[in-house]
Structure 1
Amino acid sequence: MFRHPLQHFFNHPRYRSLALSPDGSTLAFVCDADGRFDVFRQELDGGPRRRLTQLTDQEDAGALAFVSGGLAFSTDRAGCELWQLQLLRDEATAPRSLATRSDTQHLIHPRAAHPGGELLAFAAPGAAPGQMDVFLLDTKDFTSRSVASTGAYLLPGTWSPDGRYLLIAEVSAIDQIALLVLDSSTGVLTRVTPANHDAVYIPGPWFPDGRSFLVATDDGRKFGALMRMTLAGGRTILHETVGDIAGLGMDAAGRRIAIAAEEDGAQRLRVLDLPERRLLDTSAVACGTLCDRWNDELFVREDGLTLFYLSTSQHPKQPMLWRAAGLPPEPLAPAMPAVVTQNELIVPDNVHFEADDGLRLQGWLYRPRGTGPFPCVLFLHGGPLAAVRPDYAPFTQYLLSRGIGFFAPNVRGSSGFGRSFARLVHRDWGGADVADARTAGRYMRSLPWVESSRCAMMGVSYGGFLALSCLWQEPQIWAAGIDLFGPVDLERLLRNAPTNWATALAASVGTDEQLRARSPLHYAEKITAPLLVVQGANDPRVRIEQSEALVDKLRQWNTPYEYLLLPNEGHGMAERASSLTVFEAAARHLERYLFA
């Protein structure tokens, strides 16, 4: 059994965001190769990547978009999620701030630049709480103006090739997204799908005619589909999937479409040859994670070259190129840890089990090398509209090297399994989802190689809420627990939610009666497992008072705990040093109590 220190598994760059230049020659991306997330660019015909920014301490880059003569990108400071816009003209000059207000969010899309290059569409708060309007920023004189406002949460999508029309998404809830079209020549905003309709429409690229565009939708169906929509109201289904669609891209000629298709707990690259209506052979591209639910994009050049991120259980996330049917993808830059080799990493098993009500659930099961029996960790993902996939998980691989198994189920409410599956947790946080987590624990403990008396519960964000719920409902079962950024008080979660997603959150969590009855804070005295609590000091979603209230209860009831407060982080870990600090503490916690 290999015994690398924890740092070796984390010794790789992390990536986020992707943008392709209009001429298809250059890729821009965000990477923390030097410890923080900076902006890089790389020519696709070869040559080393070049770092474009030297962001200050506690500042990180986010989304990207090529504009005329430069690159627009967003930055956040210390996890506050108040994304600001900056413009980088060239590598010799410092970025210029484009933000109109430093106390609000500014959101952009990688295809949000006008084809002329001088205008950039972005979203920023409107007049009412929770309202986001769409603005146009002139990158020459740095003035901006509001161009779309409906009183709802709007996000800019993609421009038509002639620059006349802009697709805009209107988010009523996480599972209700409508589409509007802005005619920039007249200022007229037109709905192309009904408002508050029980469906999701995700805007994609435009076809070369400038009057039709690609969307991903689940309207009237169990799973996702690609649809061509026209300004005149025409709709044509181009391809249907067996799961959700996490992302898509299309070449400028409208001949080839790349899809990040969710299939049984993993994402796979699917490439559709539109004229022939057939899928190309992408079997040489491993399954894993290609898109973080519309936060990463896929791009297709006119020569068919497809660009995307890929993370698998044996390869960290990195930008990839796929050239032709039957060929494996080519990495743009090495991403493997410098010391850990591929054959040392364990590939998980895709397993299925039944919930209490007979619902079929899926999960990823990692077994250490050896005969066992082994202690095991049950991990619950955030969201709830998210999923665990077989991507690179450095902490998981470290635990496996220490003889600790790992099971990551996708309980009801997870993304990737269709609309009805995702909605099963709607207004039922702490109900059937917790029952699924407990069922997953029983399944894990029933495995012959798992030592059932040495099992731990671990969750992040919403998954932290589920983990704490299991810990108080089954105190005799769990030997240890870890809560990463998890809410413990649902009433407080809604009361203090950021205005930009408070409405959608309130519509999905539960009834007023359920909020207090299902909050783990009010049952903290029943938690007996030693608990590690991790909190970002600047977390705008799960405020610091949530974790402090839990810690006060644990102290009052003499429950063993460790409280780790990250001073420069929000709802997650942007700094590489923070990740190491958190997972070193988590490793100590698990090894102490699972091997006691």
Structure 2
Amino acid sequence: MQALLCAALALPMAAQADVQQFDARIPVWVPATEQVAAHTANLAGHVYRPQGTGPWPLVVLSHGTPSGADARAALTERYGPQAVAIAALGYVVVTGLRRGYGASDGPLADRYGSCDAPDYPHAAQEAARDVAAIMSYGQKLPFVNSAQVVLMGKSAGGFASLALAAQQPAGLRGVINFAGGRGSQPRMREKAEVCGEAQLLKTIAGFAATSRVPQLWIYAENDSYFRPPLVRKMAESYRAAGQSLTLVFAPSTDEEGHRFFDRAANIGQWLPQVREFLMQQLPGMATAQLQSHNSQGDKP
């Protein structure tokens, strides 16, 4: 395992000021079921972009799942500071709330059912449908290079990113998974377990079998939602399938490790490694722009 880079990386105010932000309404096609007719739902999202004409590589940033219907309904943009930090490196970042979260259309689509019999493939299919729509929206932006995309997500958003990567969407070049997984509930965390661990591992192994892009996974040592022994089993599925995966554990702190990515104060701890991964998978325009910024004294 590699040690997480701990040196703080402070983004100059000038670099952050170069990032533009605007709201987005992102359509996702929902096929017919026995309960509802086929229709188009709209997802609430944001776009963060560097100054300039591009075309820029694209990062699709996906959110986790708060507990409780009220918390899901109240969800807003969670990762603004994180998106700004990535965009300031020379990437367009598109976020979106999946169906049933915040201002996005509902109902909630990525449920896995009961803890006793979790249906993780269903949750994966529906979450991947929404993330694919967000990715497609981003690829169509005139300042985006549609052939250079990385999926990035936290918790359920990491799980959704793994699910979509397994479908091999055109243009995908890599995945960054922060604390990804499903099935962690309070009563299970007390037992250091998730709902249906065997089912979760089988689902992850299915992702690994058809994924074809390099992946960077970052978890905290003291993540009580998805603990290191389970994470290592998940990662082993990818390695057994011959996939390129780097697994990193952030050192334990006094705070819950599952929220490591959520805290803006921690950006400097993970951004160097994320930047390195992005530049390896998405060279081209972002690298050229970074060199241009550096030559002008605006070092990211």
- TM-score between the two structures when normalised by the length of structure 2: 0.71
Q: Which among 44, 59, 71 is matched to residue 377 of structure 1?
A: 59
Deviation at 1:437, TM superposition (A): 1.0
Give yes or no for the alignment of 1:477 onto 2:162.
no
Residues 557 and 519 of structure 1, relative CA distance in 2, 3 Å threshold: closer
Residues 355 and 7 of structure 1, relative CA distance in 2, 3 Å threshold: same
Give yes or no for the alignment of 1:553 onto 2:234.
no
Q: Which has the higher strand share?
A: 1
Q: Residue in 1 aligned with 2:161?
A: 467
Aligned partners of 1:516, 1:344: CA distance in 2, in Å? 42
Q: Secondary structure at the match of 2:218?
A: strand
Give matches, 1:407-418, under 5 Å: 407-416=94-103
Give yes or no for the alignment of 1:355 onto 2:28.
yes
Aligned partners of 2:267, 2:258: CA distance in 1, in Å? 12
Q: Secondary structure at the match of 1:581?
A: helix
Q: Secondary structure at the match of 2:279?
A: helix
Deviation at 1:388, TM superposition (A): 4.7
Give yes or no for the alignment of 1:586 onto 2:297.
no
Do the aligned residues in 1 keep the contact of 2:44 with 2:97 (CA within 8 Å)?
yes
Q: Residue in 1 aligned with 2:108?
A: 423
Aligned partners of 1:6, 1:451: CA distance in 2, in Å? 30
Q: Secondary structure at the match of 1:378?
A: strand
Aligned partners of 2:220, 2:16: CA distance in 1, in Å? 35
Do the aligned residues in 2 keep the contact of 1:533 with 1:547 (CA within 8 Å)?
no
Q: Deviations over 1:425-471 (max 9, x none)?
A: 34352232221111111111122221111110000011111111111
Q: Which among 172, 175, 189 is matched to residue 498 of structure 1?
A: 189
Q: Residue in 2 aligned with 1:531?
A: 215
Q: Deviations over 1:363-406 (max 9, x none)?
A: 1011221111110100001115374528741x422332332110
Give matches, 1:567-578, under 5 Å: 567-569=251-253, 570-573=257-260
Q: Secondary structure at the match of 1:497?
A: helix
Residues 524 and 415 of structure 1, relative CA distance in 2, 3 Å threshold: same
Percent identical = 19
Do the aligned residues in 1 keep the contact of 2:47 with 2:95 (CA within 8 Å)?
yes
Aligned partners of 1:578, 1:351: CA distance in 2, in Å? 27
Aligned partners of 1:589, 1:479: CA distance in 2, in Å? 11
Residues 396 and 360 of structure 1, relative CA distance in 2, 3 Å threshold: closer
Aligned partners of 1:430, 1:520: CA distance in 2, in Å? 10
Residues 6 and 377 of structure 1, relative CA distance in 2, 3 Å threshold: farther
Do the aligned residues in 1 keep the contact of 2:201 with 2:233 (CA within 8 Å)?
no
- Structure 1 unmatched ranges of 5 or more: 10-338, 507-511
Q: Which among 322, 340, 344 is matched to residue 17 of structure 2?
A: 344
Q: Residue in 2 aligned with 1:449?
A: 143
Q: Secondary structure at the match of 1:483?
A: strand
Do the aligned residues in 1 keep the contact of 2:8 with 2:269 (CA within 8 Å)?
no
Partner amino acid, structure 2, of 1:581: Q
Q: Secondary structure at the match of 1:411?
A: coil
Deviation at 1:472, TM superposition (A): 0.8
Q: Which has the higher helix share?
A: 2
Give yes or no for the alignment of 1:565 onto 2:249.
yes
- Structure 2 unmatched ranges of 5 or more: 1-6, 31-39, 67-71, 114-121, 285-300
Deviation at 1:341, TM superposition (A): 5.0
Do the aligned residues in 1 keep the contact of 2:20 with 2:50 (CA within 8 Å)?
no
CA-based RMSD: 3.5
Q: Residue in 2 aligned with 1:102?
A: none
Q: Residue in 2 aligned with 1:8?
A: 10
Q: Secondary structure at the match of 2:47?
A: strand
Q: Residue in 2 aligned with 1:325?
A: none
Do the aligned residues in 2 keep the contact of 1:388 with 1:409 (CA within 8 Å)?
no
Aligned partners of 2:171, 2:230: CA distance in 1, in Å? 25
Q: Deviations over 1:99-133 (max 9, x none)?
A: xxxxxxxxxxxxxxxxxxxxxxxxxxxxxxxxxxx
Q: Look at both structures and tell me which one has the larger radius of gyration over its CA atoms.
A: 1
Q: Residue in 2 aligned with 1:402?
A: 89
Q: Deviations over 1:478-524 (max 9, x none)?
A: 1011000001xx57x56983249x9xx96xxxxx8xx5598233321
Residues 403 and 516 of structure 1, relative CA distance in 2, 3 Å threshold: closer
- TM-score between the two structures when normalised by the length of structure 1: 0.38
Partner amino acid, structure 1, of 2:159: F
